[in-house]
Chains A and B, each alone.
Chain A
Amino acid sequence: MHTYIDKIREIASRLLKEEAVEMVIGYQEGTLPMISPPMSVRSAEDVEKLTWSSHCCINLANYLTDIKGKVAVFAKGCDCRSIVNHIAEGKVKREDVVIIGVPCNGMMERRTISNIFGDEIEEVVEEADGTVIVRGKGREEKYQKSDLLRQCCRVCVHKNPVLYDELVADPVAIPEDIQRYKEVEKIEAREIDKRWKFFENLISTCIRCYACRDACPTCYCPTCFVDEAQPQWVGKGDDEPDVMTFHILRAFHTAGRCTDCGACVSACPMGINMRAFTKKLEKDCLDLWDWEAGLTSDMRPALETFTPSDPEDNFK
């Protein structure tokens, strides 16, 4: 059992008993191994249903968009930055949300573990020392959590919440040697046609279920451009140019706002790493404007504002 769970339930129970909030948003135990889906709790009697694990991959800021009433939410470093982004963009008021920060040591995705283990998985147990025991039919393997982490968690430098009302535990240490953009640099190094081919391959299995968009806290447009009928910006079928248009435009729309929470990748039923698009834009925002999403609610995100000192090299 995760060491955070008791504290999480205690905080939720207190907030509900004191009527400080109407609802607490957290995670519950799933019906399958390796998934902890979001849930809301409205009564102190139900806080026992709340849990924490290394499979809390969905970003809970997504459940705050345009929410009415006062709510509390458990937020990892990335979720927290998405909440800050929500505050900056007027999608949630700071006074309406009690942020319970959860220092995070990274999450593990079902797909990654399943791919590594090979067989169907019946149980996954995480030991305090970072050993992960995976059990299938008549087979057991041991792994290190660090080898199973989501890609976004491996390169995360904002593991601790940036804005919170209280913390579930002490902040975790951030390793100093994290190479944040190695995966982007690898793609950048490709020849332009090979780079295009890479992205074509990346999205070749996309079924346009829009789980990536719908799991993304920054994707809150009342009508997404792909759903517009008049004018119709993009075809709705499975033609490659239409699918590519969706992914590229969505990525650009999240530029300067994406916190690399990885919910899009975790949600994708086809295992597409659409972070290959968004991580590059994150890197550009940092390189060009020294901007990182969700660290302050006092400034508009990079692509929504300008200053006379902005570099102009990118205007060609």
Chain B
Amino acid sequence: MRILQIDKKDWSAGLEKSRKDYTLIGPVKEGNNVSKFKELAAGEEPDFSITTTTMSPKSVVFPQSEVMFTFTTDSASADCNIMKVPEKSYSPRAVIGIRPFDAVAMKIVKMNFDTPDYQDPYWCDAYAACTFIGLAITDPEACDFSTSTGTGPFDTSGLDVLLVDAGDYYLAEVVTDKGDSWIQSASFDQEADAESVEILHSMRKEAKKKIESTVEFANIDKKETLDLYNEKYWDSISFPCLNCGTCTYVCPTCWCFDIQDEMAHKNGRRMKNWDSCMFPNFTIHTTGHNPRNTKLMRVRQRFMHKLKYHQSKYNMGIMCVGCGRCVTSCPVNIDIREVCKQMNS
């Protein structure tokens, strides 16, 4: 595919132009220096100064709370007890400034919501509506270990376009036809010269070299599940854990949700809310029995799922892209890199 050169002084105009065909979504700062992806209001631009947003962009496709159906239990209504899908817009949305590892995370989450047997229509429709205009990571953060999880700072595998900040201009590597459509909508049309293409390649190499944090997990796959399960180290790993949902909520690959009916008088709605394997409620049965009733069991489950079960089931590596969010956000510094090291040793 082609590589374009976008002068930074033309960036805003192109972005605005593309609004006629796309809803724009991008990283923004809010509150006490936290950041997330949200729909950009007219004139609002994605904040490219943020490398890793506090919250991952998974919410663009998989919102924390989503109405699946509305219903009424009013017997006087013709629609009594009929589940209705609320009207939703799946018009094209361009996710501007998504980082390469987060786009790869979308593909991992896809394995759960879009299978040959079952497709979650809410997730699939939202994903199909997205064009991912990625932004390469030229200055990786200390907790970024994405190169060892099979992705990296310039990885295009989850993207439609990869933007590279080259100083006065962006280089835009067009990866898919979908990406090309957005580029055309924004009227970016200056082909990059050979020298700029060379710059892109050398920046890619430089960025990869800057990532010093790594994980190794080849041995985990070879080990017996029960041997890992019965390891003594789960005790010390889980001790500080508060069993809050932070790691799972900031994680771009955690896909678990809970379905809840909310009623007000006779009107109700069926919600799909994020859930977390760290919560005791996650596995409680209607009998009151909870098969994962201790902190140790819940912590072990999270790491076994990420680093062992996922690989055993799909044979496509670990369920982690190395963004480092859980490492930096965990209130008690439970570090997946350290856990991975112990499991792999």
Contact = CB atoms under 8 A, between A and B. Distances in A.
A273 B32 CA distance: 9
A58 B239 CA distance: 13
B33 A271 contact: yes
Interface stretch (A27-35, A152-160, A280-288, A299-307): A27-35
Specify which of A37, A114, A269 lies most central, judged by the most chain B CB atoms within 10 Å of its CB: A269
Contacts of B312: none
Contacts of B207: none
Contacts of A115: 32-33
B47 interface: no
Contact of B34 (A40, A58, A271): A271
B260 A272 contact: no
Interface stretch (A86-94, A173-181, A209-217, A290-298): A209-217
A215 B331 contact: yes
B33 A209 contact: no
A309 B251 CA distance: 53
B311 interface: no
A120 interface: yes
Interface stretch (A7-15, A124-132, A232-240, A244-252): A232-240
Specify which of B30, B244, B335 lies most central, judged by the most chain A CB atoms within 10 Å of its CB: B244
Size category, B interface:
35 or more
Contacts of A269: 34, 54, 246, 249-250, 329, 331
Contacts of A266: 331
B338 interface: yes
Contacts of B260: 232, 235-237
A204 interface: yes
Contacts of B249: 207, 209, 269
A211 B250 contact: no
A37 B332 contact: yes
A17 B65 CA distance: 52
A211 B328 CA distance: 14
A211 B331 contact: yes
Contacts of A120: 141-142
A115 B54 CA distance: 14
B244 A215 contact: yes
B184 interface: no
B64 A207 contact: yes
Specify which of B32, B34, B64, B280 lies most central, judged by the most chain A CB atoms within 10 Å of its CB: B32
A96 interface: no
A227 B333 contact: no
B214 interface: no
18 contacts: A32-B142, A37-B332, A39-B236, A111-B33, A122-B142, A205-B30, A205-B31, A205-B32, A209-B249, A215-B242, A235-B271, A237-B65, A237-B262, A266-B331, A267-B244, A267-B332, A268-B331, A269-B246
